[in-house]
Chain A
Amino acid sequence: MMWDGIIIGGGLAGLVAGIRAQERGKQVLLISEGAGSLTFAAGVLDFGRMEELQAQENHPYALLGEQAVRDAFRYLIGLCPVYHGEWGRPQAVLTPLGMLRQADLVPFRLDASPLAGAREIILMAPEGLKDFFPEVVKTNLQKQFPGAAVRLQRLRVEEFTNWHRVGKPVPATVYAKFWCTRQGALTLQNLLQETALEVRSGLNPVMVIPGLSSAFCPGLAQTLDKAPWPVVEVTSFPPSPAGQGLYETLKEEFRALGGELLIGSGVGRVEIESQAVRRVIVKSRGKETAFAARAFVLATGGLFGRGITVSPTEVREAVFGLPLYVPAEWSGSAFLGEQPYARTGIAVDDRLRPRHPISRELLLTNVHVAGRMLAHWDPWLERCGGGVSLASGFLAGELL
């Protein structure tokens, strides 16, 4: 059997490409070596400064155009309605240390704006929550919201007694999973009721709770809706409940549309005939398995996703062996020093097809490149990781 499209790489870019192509009636197989980087990311999506980035020659935004990026922005909200955002109006969210940062698409309740009008902030401190430093967060909140009194309220859940006893911190994802059960939601409801007795509603109280993600958990969202004051959640260090929530939601959507996911074994090699890829070969256990398709998406996540591998002598695109654009500073002697390696990737045409970084010749006619594999952008400096991956993934799904 011939698939309509095979996507290599199951991160944000690959999953969105897969969902879009399935929606268009294509039969898609997504092959991924491991779970993508969404589980590490905070679950909020940044789009960066469109105008500035679009003006950079070769930047993915310049290739895609503003309309395509805006379409992708709206598309994600349609796909996951728990995400809120308005184009060009970033929202404030709390970092794990309680500082404010901006983000463009934010899961419901991570939006920190209710804090602006608060005169009392109740900071919940779940016992033993990993990577959560209550005093630091409290100090930071106090500094940023001098008009409010910040009160720390410790909370303890019986379920984690064993963890506390052996002194093992409870990861945010584990806490979040508990709150997501019926019993967890009930426990939280009781805690909220107890706290309500001590809170003076005239002070516009706002409660801050780390280590949960109600957006991806309807039962919990209902409980928090009933709270007598606004609740603001906090982004987490990896692994993050919201990032995990987005990852699971996208996988579920892809499967519900009839797409097939093969996670755990990567594409080892490919068969190419006259500039077109025919089959990809997966390193299954025991033997190789070949899958044929009309078109392919390469979304293997760049250096972090292992789509680009580095050895002391070369930087390599791992699946097709495509030539990479490598910033000049990096090819110099200080190879692994602090250099703009972030812009390393594959140069493409306006249909996201790979081309030679220097001669600009088209290299493969039925492959579209998306996400972190694209050259000429820097997610850290430009704060556009979500935007580029989403928009290029969406376009790849349109083109399959």
Chain B
Amino acid sequence: MEDQGKRVKGLDPARAENLDACIKCGACTAQCPVTAVYPLFPGPKSMGPDAERLRLAGVALTPDCLSYCTNCKTCEVTCPSGVRVTEMLLRAREQEKEAKTRLTGRRRNVRDYILGRAEHLGRLGTVWPALTNAVLRRKTTRRLLEKSIGLSARAPLPLYSQKFRHRDKSSPLRELLRGDGIPDPAARIVYFPGCFITYNDAATGQAVVKVLEHNGFEVIVPEFHCCGVPLTTNGHFREAVANAVHNLALLQPYLEEGIPVIASCTSCGLALKDDYPRVAAPGAERVGAQTYDFFEFLWELHNRGDLREDFQAVPVSLAYHAPCHLKAQGIGTPAVRILRLIPGVKVLELDAGCCGLSGSFGFKEEKYNLAQQIGSSLFSRVQTGMEEKKFQGVVTECGGCQIQIAHGSGAETVNPVWLLAEAYGLKGKS
């Protein structure tokens, strides 16, 4: 995601440097989940650094299979040399798209248009969630959707909830204490809920807010648009940049004041940290450094001695799945560290790779089976662990991973914030 106007044809020094770092070891391709299940996918090494050499020279080597990359970023995480492989792939896709939009089938264009806009669907879905869910649950609807636009009838489409809303509560007490009527910026925080929380899982959003409030923060939630990741992954690069510009405009005043931004969705968090700083808009220079993953932020509080640790014991054993886009952030697994602070909680890390859904990849008719194959190691590890009574359920930060794991393994899968809410005694309180 970068400024459209700035790009020039030919040798871009940043791109060449990225390419230079590749030592041709092939580790990325060896670990890519799609390469392992889809023979037509040449893999990140050939499609990234190898083909980039040609692309830099102006030769467009654009295999159709680029759209099979799920943007999981496993290749980047694996690379011993820090090569930004997915950036090369996304850019190649953009070029491919520009070159041959007219040639692609219309049916899937509509589908990718819709899946890229979880937000538009969400606005519709949350008007009357019960009705939308009832319609979406019907087999006939799903068959129709598969036939008409290529949305897999078997895929675990998320249900809609009441839209997540948060009215910023002014905190008279704090202002009173400070005496000057100006709230303490250190105690204010901006929450970026993301589409999944906003349209499909408002309750988890409320839990995040309650935990932050319990720790003395005033939570601000501006009217953000979708972070842009689903747009990018479905090939709508220009719109993704437009969303980033909109969101940055909302963030900018808070960023100026030094107020931290919290994302509970790991893909939104990655976009804010890694994509937004490269957008040409005010705020871009600060957003990377001021954005925190929700649990990363709680861990910082813990390190400073500022986290409330008045936990009640929660006797439970859980498996934890690290979402791909959390791994890509390079902050480790702060949720596991936080959960282990709660007395009674036992956490086992699954470490069985990508769940396969990758945002909307697994919703697509032609990709549903691949997604299930990619996730199969994870599902069978969950099933074995449940059978052997090693754990009672699964926690993971990503909403997509949650529905895919539940779909593939049958195990109850929730956001780890629920454990915190319970330990703080906040569950059920409004």
- Closest Cβ of chain B to A271, distance in Å, is 16
- B37-49 interface bits toward A, Cβ cutoff 8 Å, 1 = contact, 0 = none: 0011000000000
Residues from chain A with a CB closer than 8 A to the CB of B39 are 160, 162-163, 165-166, 168, 170
| A260, B351: Cβ atoms closer than 8 Å | no
A-B contact count (CB 8 A): 109
Separation of A69 and B76 alpha carbons in the complex (Å): 35
Q: Is A214 an interface residue (CB 8 A)?
A: no
Q: Is B323 an interface residue (CB 8 A)?
A: no
Q: Is A229 an interface residue (CB 8 A)?
A: no
Other-chain contact of A287, B31, B40, B273, B328 (Cβ < 8 Å):
B273
Q: Is A255 an interface residue (CB 8 A)?
A: yes
Other-chain contact of B277, A264, A282, A286 (Cβ < 8 Å):
A286
Residues from chain A with a CB closer than 8 A to the CB of B30 are 39, 171, 173, 238-239, 244
CB nearest to B80 among chain A residues: A34
Separation of A256 and B349 alpha carbons in the complex (Å): 7
Which residues of chain A from 123 to 173 have a CB within 8 Å of any chain B CB? 160, 162-163, 165-166, 168, 170-171, 173
Other-chain contact of A284, B78, B277, B330 (Cβ < 8 Å):
B330
Separation of A179 and B23 alpha carbons in the complex (Å): 31
Which residues of chain B from 70 to 88 have a CB within 8 Å of any chain A CB? 76-82
Separation of A239 and B302 alpha carbons in the complex (Å): 41
Q: Is A177 an interface residue (CB 8 A)?
A: yes
| B277, A35: Cβ atoms closer than 8 Å | no
Residues from chain A with a CB closer than 8 A to the CB of B331 are 262, 282, 284, 289
| A181, B336: Cβ atoms closer than 8 Å | no
Count residues of B near A (Cβ-Cβ below 8 Å). Answer: 43
Separation of A238 and B27 alpha carbons in the complex (Å): 9
Q: Is A285 an interface residue (CB 8 A)?
A: yes
- B19-30 interface bits toward A, Cβ cutoff 8 Å, 1 = contact, 0 = none: 000010111001
| A266, B333: Cβ atoms closer than 8 Å | no
Which residues of chain B from 238 to 288 have a CB within 8 Å of any chain A CB? 270, 272-274, 277, 287-288
Q: Is A174 an interface residue (CB 8 A)?
A: yes
Q: Is B216 an interface residue (CB 8 A)?
A: no
Separation of A265 and B330 alpha carbons in the complex (Å): 5
Q: Is A251 an interface residue (CB 8 A)?
A: yes
Separation of A319 and B357 alpha carbons in the complex (Å): 36
What are the 6 A-B residue pairs with the smallest beta carbon separation, nearest first?
A265-B330, A286-B273, A34-B80, A264-B77, A286-B288, A239-B30
Query: Which residues of B are interface residues toward A (Cβ below 8 A)?
Result: 23, 25-27, 30-31, 36, 39-40, 76-82, 270, 272-274, 277, 287-289, 291, 302-303, 327-333, 336-337, 340, 348-349, 351, 376-377, 380
